[in-house]
Amino acid sequence: MVYEEVKKAVVVVFGALLNAVGLNLFMIPADVYASGFTGIAQLLSSVIKEYTPLYISTGVLLLLLNIPVAILGWQKVGKSFTLYSVLSVAATTLFLSIVPLYPLSEDILLNAVFGGVIVAIGVGITLKYGASTGGLDIVAMILSRMKDKPVGTYFFILNGIIIFTAGLLYGWEKALYTLVTLYASTRVIDAIHTRHEKLTAMIITKKADDLKQAIHAKMVRGITMVPAKGAFTNEQKDMLMIVITRYELYDLEKIIKEVDPKAFTNIIQTTGIFGFFRKE
């Protein structure tokens, strides 16, 4: 248990380092903006620097933006999830002050693509290990529970605001390159983890009862059991069907590997749910 928590913390810190590298070596020098709260912090830092005598770094602004979100997350989302989100944001802020703000290329397209990919790798591995980079993830989860709408709506709205503001302030060319960054980031995150908020897992196993008990011990989710039979072997098995959020995928994978490593599991996108689905 301790080993798993330490491993998750190490992955979160490494993901934060990748975020800082992508930002300071590629995106910030090129005035290309990331998605979510990181992009808002970049925009605010640029505006404050240009229109006031003050300068506040992206890392500091990112930390300040996440303080009220962390408090809300602690109350509404969960303590463990929020703690790892806070660790991610704090580590990102630290690494942004350590990694030099140095452009590796003068080509804005290279900066947009490589910056987006590197940041997305950091976000993707953080999500894959059941943690979050904070900010918009927590806000979207809270709003989704209040309004019962998919979190993708809130990602789209906030990223749209970032792109539109960047276009108004610094020219539409920069806004278009920001779109390139967002596209590259989304594709990489999809490849490493998933952007879908809800997922359906269909697990074919011979150890249905053991697996059911292990899942219920860790997660509060309903499970549907369906008798199944191998078409080639004629072996009697069971299929467990369970709907989860993307943040629970890591825990489910770990449970399956521990209880029945030979189980066949199919994870698919869930586009909608009718009926009761626990949100708290």
Is the entire prediction scored with pTM above 0.85?
Answer: no
247-279 per-residue burial string, b: 16 or more CB within 10 A, e: under 16: bbbbebeebbeebbeebeeebeebeeeeeeeee
Separation between Cα atoms, residue 243 and residue 237, nearest integer Å: 20
Separation between Cα atoms, residue 259 and residue 141, nearest integer Å: 30
Residue 143 has pLDDT above 80, yes or no: no
| pLDDT reported for residue 98 | 92
Residue-wise pLDDT for 22-66, tens only, equals: 999 998 888 888 878 888 888 888 888 888 888 888 888 888 888
Of residues 144 and 261, the one with the higher pLDDT is: 261
Residue 85 has pLDDT above 90, yes or no: no
| pLDDT reported for residue 4 | 76
Residue-wise pLDDT for 185-214, tens only, equals: 878 877 776 655 678 999 999 998 999 999
Amino acid type, 177: Y
**Average pLDDT of the chain to the nearest whole number:** 82
Res. 157 pLDDT band, cuts 50 70 90: confident
| pLDDT reported for residue 49 | 85
